Structure 1
Amino acid sequence: MTEGKLFHYYETQSVLPTFGNLRSPAELEAYAAQRRDLFADKLMLPPALFRGADLLEFGPDSGENAMVFAGWGAELTLVEPNRHAHEKIRAYFSRFILTDRLSELILTDVEGFSTGRAFDIVDAEGFIYTVQPAEKWLHIFHRLLKPNGYAIVFYYERYGGFFELALKAIHAAGKVLVDSSPLEAARRLFDKKWNSIPHTRSFESWLMDVLENPFVRHRYFIDAPSLCTAAHEVGFDIHAAWPSYRDTLDVYWHKETLSHEEKLRRTVQHLNRSRLSFLAGRKLYLVGSTDAVGAISASIEELVLDVDRLIGDPFGDSLPSVISRLAALRETISTTALLADDAADIAAITSTLDGFRRIFEAVARRDAPQLTALTQSDPAFISSWGQPAHFLVLRKRSEAAREGA
């Protein structure tokens, strides 16, 4: 089954997925402060690096992130295939007196974009995982970047996406059990969960961008080790990521230079041990044997696949399997060697898995009152979001670096 392209889906919607409706310089500065924290502290890309940089952004949507880049001094080329977004982008840049930073606004997508120019930075956030296989956009970005240029991507990670898929599966069941519209069902199920954390976008945009989005599915999610391996083969090194893709506990002499292949090997090993952390959205590092790590990874993969099947068939054959796999994973965690900050983190994930198991048991009983009562009251369910979306910053290797690889 194919759904075309993500922007085709967005073009049919009445709201843009990330529109924040920034109205004042103070609101823009507050938004920019969040981005500054992300880029400087987590992605090792300080704002000064953007000053005077030729930056190409794919899929800017309504343009909030682009305005931050402009405020940091970047010269922008924006490529946005959704024509409905262009008016908001131009209005934003005019309102905040940033039009002189907007070199071009082009109506096309990643695969349709063509230019003879090379850029210092290529940014693609939130949609790029739907352009598959990943090698396709990796080659495009590599071609568009200058040597040592940066590619910044924001994508759905396969294991971290478990809770996102589970919410979609619960919503699919809820639409049937409470017999209401997608929006009404979502509010009855997730209103308290949504309001438990701050947001710069509306509940309606979350409904459209996640719960009803046909591209938020397992078949589009990307396995982090596979992506890093593909990027290495195309000619990229990993500059930074959030969550971290480098083993920050690694220790060796500062003058030692690791080969690109050895860096990749260590990264993949670290990512394999981070899969439970990605699912849980907190540090639960797998420190057991390689076989034990592989077994837990396989059980998580099977759970994620079964939950994904529920989205299309919420009362189908995979429902009993989801319930049993949630219970099994909960028991496995209690007997697995983990590196966590404290026992509370392990207790939190076991409580969360218990909460989701009870919710899916209510779905299996077709008990609508119990379902909504659990989703609106269970503390572990309300506070759990996992780590579905990952940032990855890749650096294009120079010719000299490639020759020395």
Structure 2
Amino acid sequence: MAEDKLFNYYERQDVLPTFGNFKSLAELDAYTNQRRELFSDKLVLSPRLFRDAEVLEFGPDSGENALVFAGWGANMTLAEPNRHAHPKIQAYFAHFGRTERLRELALADVEGFRSDRGFDIIDAEGFIYTVQPTANWLRIFHRLLNPDGYAVVSYYERHGGFFELALKAIHAAGKALTGRPALEAARMLFDAKWNSIPHTRSFESWLMDVLENPFVRHRYFLDATALCTAAHEQGFDIHSAWPAYRDVLDIYWHKKVLSDGEKLRRAARHLHRSRLSFLGGRKLYLVDKIDAVEAISESIGALVLDVDAMIDDPFGESLPRVVARLASLRETIRTTNILADDAADIEAVITTLDSLHLVFDAIGQRDASAVAALTQTNSAFINAWGQPAHFLVVRKRVEGS
């Protein structure tokens, strides 16, 4: 059955994907500290900005993030289309004594929400990439934000999401080779990988949220450069991002004022050279000549597309291309000038690509036991996650500025 919107998928699962089940103030405080680090250090948004601010959060799910914003002093308007989430949100706010900060709880998604009020901050994390075309939600945000207001979004970035797609393709092949149901096949393939990281959700939740989620696909993922360009065209400037979307090595006189277009051009150039970093989940900045950068970028883009195609057809014509492209990219990296913290980081991404080459080659041999042996024991495969989730903060441009 084709899914209409992401919240419909979760509604049918009768599950709240981010529910933390906080019972004590200590649990909430620990989560608040994590969010403070993200917003203050990485996104350059001090919690002081939330004090008495009118904040609109789209898709709050069970409301953990909204609780944090309310604790920072924000007046919260929540638009949550999944009716199953509303009792959890209300119970959370009551339990932690923040009900007075819950201004409105609307049963609406981004496109269905209506308000005559303006907002200082809009937050939409984890789902916004599925609302397409992108210009639609950017236009809605622009209409709802006050001048100089901020929009905070997180999304699947197209190149950083390579490993998510690779895991889905391997899972699809595992199911096809063994005939096992989804959970059993996932356990066979990814138990060691899952247990290698700290996590607060169950394996079953990860299976539903990533491996079986029909929206974790290339056609929904956003290219960082295209997103920044679309935001610029809708009247936004880039405030911050994680990973950084501005070239942090750029240097010029502090009184020099760059045009909005020039800022975008410099960001786009930086993002183009960052695609291998996004794929590898570490600093692997492409400093070679532009033709070499173009070649690697095109290679990554083609690889991501072919891996995505394997999710629907694990043994189809894209499989040999994936095997060949992994080998080619691995060798190209060896001869490309890359800025990294350490030579070991470059070797690590090469080793990771090699591990994936072995896995997909075993899939081509229709050898389920070899695939499982690799995914459960190969340390390079187990430790690789890429950088799929990106955060972007944009600021509504003031008229005439």
TM-score (norm 2): 0.98
Q: Distance in 2 between the 1:120 and 1:290 partners?
A: 40
DSSP-derived class of the 2:120 partner: strand
Matches of 2:204 and 2:20, distance apart in 1: 12
Secondary structure of the corresponding residue to residue 255 of structure 1 = coil
- Structure 1 unpaired stretches of 5+: none
User: Match of 1:149, SS?
Assistant: strand
For the residues of structure 1 that align with 2:65 and 2:50, how far apart are their CA atoms?
13
Distance (Å, rounded) in 2 between the aligned partners of 1:24 and 1:366: 50
Q: For 2:334 and 2:246, locate their aligned partners in 1 and report how far apart those are by CA, in whole Å.
A: 26
TM-superposed CA distance for 1:2, in Å, is: 6.0
Residue by residue, what CA displacement relative to the aligned partner does 1:97-125 show, whole Å, maximum 9, x if unpaired? 11111111110110001110000000000
User: What residue in structure 2 maps to residue 332 of structure 1?
Assistant: 332
**1:29 maps to 2:35:** no
User: Following the alignment from structure 1 to structure 2, what is the Cα–Cα distance between the partners of residues 292 and 369?
Assistant: 38
Shift in Å at residue 365 of structure 1?
Answer: 1.4
Structure 2 counterpart of 1:206? 206
Over residues 243-300 of structure 1, what are the superposed CA-to-partner deviations in whole Å (9 max), with x where a residue is unaligned?
0000000001111111111111100000000011001101111111112111111111
Listed one character per residue, the Cα deviations across residues 366-389 of structure 1 (whole Å, up to 9, x for unaligned) are 212111111111111111100111
Q: Distance in 2 between matches of 1:182 and 1:87?
A: 30
* Count of matched residue pairs: 401
* Residues in 2 aligned to 1:188 and 1:32: alpha-carbon distance in whole angstroms: 35
Are the structure 2 counterparts of residues 2 and 13 from structure 1 closer, same or farther at C-alpha, using a change threshold of 3 Å? closer
Q: One-letter code of the match for 1:373?
A: A
Structure 1 contact 78–105 (Cα < 8 Å) conserved? yes
| Cα distance in 1 for residues equivalent to 2:86 and 2:283 | 40
Q: TM-score, normalised by structure 1?
A: 0.97
Residue aligning to 1:65: 65
Runs of 4+ residues over 3 Å off in structure 1: none
Which residue in the other structure is 1:284 paired with?
284
RMSD of the TM alignment (CA)? 1.1
Q: Name the residue aligned to 1:76.
A: 76
Aligned to 1:270: 270
Equivalent residue letter for 1:145: L
Q: After TM superposition, list the pairs within 5 Å mapping 1:1-400 onto structure 2.
A: 3-400=3-400
Shift of residue 95, structure 1, vs aligned partner: 1.6
Judge conservation of contact 1:18–1:205 (CA < 8 Å) in 2: no
Question: What secondary structure does 2:13 align onto?
Answer: coil
Task: Give the secondary-structure state (helix, strand or coil) at the position aligned to 2:163.
Answer: helix
Matched residues, percent identical? 71
Q: Give the secondary-structure state (helix, strand or coil) at the position aligned to 2:147.
A: strand
Tell me the CA shift for residue 3 of structure 1: 3.1
User: Residue 329 of structure 1 aligns to a residue in which SS?
Assistant: helix
Equivalent-residue separation in structure 1 for 2:23 and 2:359 (angstroms): 40
Q: 3-state SS of the aligned residue for 1:110?
A: coil
Whether the 8 Å contact between 2:323 and 2:360 is mirrored in structure 1 is yes
Residues of 2 paired with 1:2 and 1:173: CA distance?
A: 21
SS of residue paired to 1:399: coil
Distance 1:335 1:259 in 2: 36
Structure 2 unpaired stretches of 5+? none
Deviation at 1:229, TM superposition (A): 0.7
SS at match of 1:152: strand
- The whole-number CA distance in structure 2 between the counterparts of 1:45 and 1:201 is 27
Looking at structure 2, the residues matched to 282 and 64 of structure 1 have their Cα atoms a distance apart, in angstroms, of 28
Distance 1:27 1:383 in 2: 28
Classify the secondary structure of the residue corresponding to 2:400: helix
Paired letter, 2:273: R
- Return the offset for 1:178: 3.0
What amino acid maps onto 1:382 in structure 2?
A: I
Task: Find the aligned partners of 1:388 and 1:92 in 2 and give their Cα distance.
Answer: 29
Assess if the C-alpha contact under 8 Å between 1:16 and 1:205 holds in 2.
Answer: no
